[in-house]
Amino acid sequence: MDKKYFKLNKDAALFEFLSHKPMWWKLLLEDKDLYVNIRKENRINVYYRGASIMSLSYNDGKVTAEIHNYYLGFEKDTCAALGIKYGNQKKAPEEIVCRLPMIKKRVEANKKYIACLEEEGMVGNIYSSEKYVQSQLYMNDNHYFDTEFALRLDDGTDIRIDLVRMSDHGEICFVELKLIDDQRLYPSSGRDAEIITQMENYERFLLEANKLKGKTGKPILIEYYTTVLEIMEKIGIHRTSIKPVMVHDKVFLFIKQTYTKKSSGREKRLNTIKKVCDGLYSNIDDVLTDYNSL
């Protein structure tokens, strides 16, 4: 595993600049719908409902905000017809903050970030997206302090883990999120459920990361997330005061139970998922308890 995935400097220019709390940054932090994650190579991502609406970097003496122009109102088909690039654009961060109400509406219109109220559930199922559920887990529990942790394993396998959480005892735990109706939890065509391979890849990530030491000689994940938390405090983001001291040796599979009605088909599916989760570190027992209480 390449150490570049953990390249982070708490004294980088971007973090120094934001520590002085420019007005646009204050307004952004005051918006309780948004959350901020630190990224490798001294960048910052700003999220709404799990959508990365802005990536901040510092170049040539100024802060640059990168945003997909979908969030600015651009339509893919129209862009193609007019020969206009449909993708990321660089803007001054002040421009993005001024447009936040419109950007939020564009996120809400995208099915990847849907948030349904319980009474809007269809056929006994709440159709909130995984990204939205991820954002709510993060925003409602300060033990979570990172999302979308991504890197490449030694064999070239790309991984992206949904959430990172800190226990009260300083243990870092990586968390993979799945909604109960996700097909990857279920075997198909005589094959094992896709989640098995996914979790095995995550176990390999922990084994590979375990072999790496940081500049201070500490395990690289401990050093990296210690720096992440220091940066967050420096730029005005307060998540947890607990310091990381160890990393859990398994990635936790958090399954979100979204059924609102029982059926024989769902009971059969849940029993199958229970078998799939044998040997995995998961909350499947809580899922079954919640379903049975309906």
Per-residue pLDDT of the chain (294 residues; tens, 9 = 90+): 888 899 999 999 999 999 999 999 999 999 999 999 999 999 999 999 999 999 999 999 999 999 999 999 999 999 999 999 999 999 999 999 999 999 999 998 887 776 654 434 444 444 568 999 999 999 999 999 999 999 999 999 999 999 999 999 999 999 999 999 999 999 988 899 999 999 999 999 999 999 999 998 999 999 999 999 999 999 999 999 999 999 999 999 999 999 989 999 999 999 999 999 999 999 999 999 999 999
- Angle (CA) 82-86-91 rounded to 5° is 115
Token code pair at residue 275: 């078998």
| 278 Cβ contact partners less than 8 Å away, ≥ 6 residues apart | none
Q: Say if CB 162 and CB 150 are below 8 A apart.
A: no
Phi and psi at residue 202, in whole multiples of 5°?
-70, -35
**How would you list the strands of the sheet with 62-68, edge to edge?**
34-39, 43-48, 51-59, 62-68, 88-91
Max Cα distance, the chain (Å) = 62
Half-sphere exposure of 119 (CA within 13 A, CB side): 0
- Position 110 scores a pLDDT of 83
pLDDT value at residue 232? 98
pLDDT for the residue numbered 190: 83
Q: Which amino acid is at 200?
A: E
Q: Which domain holds residue 131?
A: 3-292
94, with CB counted inside 10 A (0-12, 13-18, 19+), is middle
Planar angle of CA 192, 254, 258, nearest 5 degrees: 95
Q: Which amino acid is at 134?
A: Q
Asked if 250 and 284 touch (Cβ cutoff 8 Å), the reply is no
Is residue 50 helix, strand or coil? Answer: coil
The tokens describing 281, both together, are: 């570190």
Q: Using N-to-C axis directions, what is the helix angle for 284-292 and 264-276, rounded to 10°?
A: 170
Number of domains composing the chain: 1
Which pTM was predicted? Answer: 0.92
